[in-house]
């Protein structure tokens, strides 16, 4: 497998000549990989995608695709499929003409054009909509056509810029699966931009988290969730209880943290953690258990501040370890025993479910 199918090297981008939107990006993507770029708006993820598509030129650095430098190749010669947020189907053409457009641009024969356009429409199960106009289709249908159009010329790489942003929740989840299956079946590369973290986690082989123009961490969804590299990634991916404290003991992989109220928490040590330094803990709400057996590590008394009902689970906001806002996710099956806020309960978690991160 070619580990450097796509490579960004020292790529920087500035629009106004004063500040960088993307500041120093090094990124390698393997062939056939589904990579998602995740981040809040303005984090540089879309600019990165646009540079890959060729709509923006990097101010510094190089981009290579399959070993060839592409940063000065115009977009129409890059042979990269792009699916846009609002689909960008040409309104004056029928669905069939839209899908045949890239083939026509490549001067394919009439018979082959028709055949390949039909196959692409079949692939997204839209063959019967051939003669409709885009504005006669629903959002999900338009999305499928846009997908067919980006895939019909069999590009090695397809870029998707928040393609599901305009769909409702159910359709979005359905389309997520469909795109994932298409990727698996065609064996192409997909670079996908989204600000929806659950979308990123469910679809990708790897996720790159952007913030403030830099790549914070790039890892598999599992590693990203379980071992976030820094507090930003920890808060951005999933829910997090950011309890802060001071490192009082550091022994290899393990450490002990003293919080503001004097509680001492046993945790895993993140990279670069130093004795005596300030730190932030990563502790997922679903990893906190209620009424752990006495004597187990990390057992604390907590005061219930608020109970929030979520149907399949219950959320507690409790005060513990000197932090007012510790969230606990309780499955519905264990939720009966709670009466009201103001009660004191015992909470706890395993030291390996909790990670102390070095502050930048």
Partner 1 sequence: MAITLTDEVVRNAVDTAALTRRLRGLRRKGQMRALLLIAPLMFFLLAIFVLPIGMLLTRSVDNSEVALTLPNTVNALASWDGATVPDEAIYAAFAADLKASPREDVAEVAKRLNYYETGMRSMLLKTARTVRNAEASYKDAFIAIDEQWGTPRYWRILKQAMPELTDFYLLAALDMSRNEAGAIAAVAPENAVHVDVLLRTFAVSASVTLLCLLLGYPLAALIARSQGAVANTLLILVLLPFWTSLLVRTSAWVVLLQSRGVVNSALAWLGLIDPSQPLELIYNRIGVLVAMTHILLPFMVLPIYSVMKSIPPVYLRAASSLGAPPLSAFWRIYLPMSMPGVSAGGLLVFILALGYYITPALVGGPRDQMVSYYIAYYSNQVTNWGMAAALSAILLVAVLILYAVYNRIVGIDRLRIG
> By CB under 8 A, is residue 221 in contact with partner 1?
no
Nearest to 191 by CA among 26, 36, 355, 341: 36
SS3 280: strand
Q: Residue 310 corresponds to which tokens in the numbers above?
A: 């979520």
> By CB under 8 A, is residue 110 in contact with partner 1?
no
Check if the beta carbon of residue 245 is closer than 8 Å to that of residue 282: no
Burial of 74 (0-12, 13-18, 19+ CB in 10 A): exposed
Q: Bridge partners of 7? A: 28, 64
> By CB under 8 A, is residue 94 in contact with partner 1?
no
> By CB under 8 A, is residue 54 in contact with partner 1?
yes
Return the percent helix, strand and coil in the chain, to nearest 5: 30, 35, 35
> By CB under 8 A, is residue 222 in contact with partner 1?
no
Rounded-to-integer distance, Cα 37 and Cα 53, Å? 14
The H-assigned helical ranges of the chain are 45-53, 95-105, 110-123, 139-151, 169-186, 197-203, 221-226, 231-236
> By CB under 8 A, is residue 121 in contact with partner 1?
no
> By CB under 8 A, is residue 102 in contact with partner 1?
yes
Instruction: Give the one residue of 23, 28, 59, 84 binding partner 1; rule: CB under 8 A.
Output: 84
Check if the beta carbon of residue 176 is closer than 8 Å to that of residue 196: no
Instruction: Give the one residue of 28, 62, 79, 94 binding partner 1; rule: CB under 8 A.
Output: 79
Least CB distance to partner 1 at residue 178 (A): 21
Question: How many chain residues are in contact with partner 1, going by CB under 8 A?
Answer: 25
Instruction: Give the one residue of 91, 187, 294, 311 binding partner 1; rule: CB under 8 A.
Output: 91
State which residue, 90 or 332, has the beta carbon closest to partner 1: 90
> By CB under 8 A, is residue 153 in contact with partner 1?
yes
> By CB under 8 A, is residue 156 in contact with partner 1?
no
SS3 261: coil
State which residue, 104 or 310, has the beta carbon closest to partner 1: 104
**In 10 A of CB 239, how many CB atoms?**
13
> By CB under 8 A, is residue 39 in contact with partner 1?
no
Rounded-to-integer distance, Cα 283 and Cα 267, Å? 10
> By CB under 8 A, is residue 74 in contact with partner 1?
yes
Question: Under 8 Å CB-to-CB from 321, ≥6 apart: which residues?
Answer: 243, 245, 259, 260, 261, 263, 265, 300
> By CB under 8 A, is residue 86 in contact with partner 1?
yes
State which residue, 104 or 181, has the beta carbon closest to partner 1: 104
Rounded-to-integer distance, Cα 328 and Cα 165, Å? 30
Instruction: Give the one residue of 81, 228, 231, 245 binding partner 1; rule: CB under 8 A.
Output: 81
Instruction: Give the one residue of 18, 92, 185, 222 binding partner 1; rule: CB under 8 A.
Output: 92
Q: What are the strands of the beta sheet with 60-65, ordered from one edge?
A: 22-29, 6-13, 60-65, 68-69
The one segment of 146-154, 227-235, 239-247, 298-306 that binds partner 1 by CB under 8 A: 146-154
Least CB distance to partner 1 at residue 111 (A): 19
Nearest to 285 by CA among 258, 316, 260: 316
> By CB under 8 A, is residue 53 in contact with partner 1?
yes
Instruction: Give the one residue of 69, 106, 278, 310 binding partner 1; rule: CB under 8 A.
Output: 106
The residue with tokens 């056509």 is 145
State which residue, 91 or 252, has the beta carbon closest to partner 1: 91
The one segment of 53-61, 192-200, 292-300, 301-309 that binds partner 1 by CB under 8 A: 53-61
Least CB distance to partner 1 at residue 136 (A): 16
Q: Which residues bind partner 1 (CB under 8 A)?
A: 53-55, 74-82, 84, 86, 88, 90-92, 101-102, 105-106, 149-150, 153
């Amino acid at each position: 497998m070619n580990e450097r199918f796509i490579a960004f090297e020292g790529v920087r981008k500035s629009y106004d000549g004063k500040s960088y939107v993307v500041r120093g990006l090094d990124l390698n993507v393997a062939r056939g990989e589904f990579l998602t770029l995740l981040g809040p708006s303005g984090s540089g993820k879309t600019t990165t995608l646009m540079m890959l598509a060729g709509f923006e030129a990097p101010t510094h650095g190089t981009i290579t695709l399959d070993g060839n430098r592409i940063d000065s190749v115009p977009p129409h010669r890059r042979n990269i499929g792009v699916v846009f947020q609002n689909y960008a189907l040409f309104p004056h053409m029928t669905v069939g003409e839209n899908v045949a457009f890239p083939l026509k641009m490549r001067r394919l024969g009439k018979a082959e054009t028709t055949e390949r356009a039909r196959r692409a429409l079949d692939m997204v199960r839209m063959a019967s909509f051939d003669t409709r106009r885009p504005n006669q289709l629903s959002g999900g249908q338009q999305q499928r056509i846009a997908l067919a159009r980006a895939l019909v010329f069999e590009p090695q790489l397809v870029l998707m810029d928040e393609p599901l942003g305009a769909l409702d929740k159910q359709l979005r989840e359905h389309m997520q699966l469909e795109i994932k299956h298409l990727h698996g079946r065609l064996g192409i590369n997909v670079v996908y931009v989204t600000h929806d973290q659950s979308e990123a986690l469910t679809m990708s082989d790897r996720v790159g988290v952007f913030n403030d123009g830099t790549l914070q961490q790039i890892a598999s969804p599992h590693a990203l969730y379980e071992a976030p590299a820094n507090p930003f990634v920890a808060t951005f991916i999933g829910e997090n209880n950011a309890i802060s404290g001071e490192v009082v003991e550091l022994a290899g992989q393990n450490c002990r943290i003293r919080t503001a109220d004097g509680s001492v928490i046993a945790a895993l040590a993140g990279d670069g953690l130093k004795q005596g330094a300030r730190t932030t803990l990563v502790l997922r709400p679903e990893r906190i258990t209620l009424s752990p057996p006495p004597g187990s590590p990390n057992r604390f008394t907590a005061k219930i501040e608020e109970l929030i009902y979520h149907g399949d689970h219950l959320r507690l906001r409790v005060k513990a370890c000197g932090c007012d806002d510790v969230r606990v996710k309780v499955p519905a099956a264990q939720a009966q025993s709670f009466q009201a806020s103001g009660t004191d309960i015992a909470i706890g978690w395993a030291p390996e479910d909790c990670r102390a991160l070095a502050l930048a």
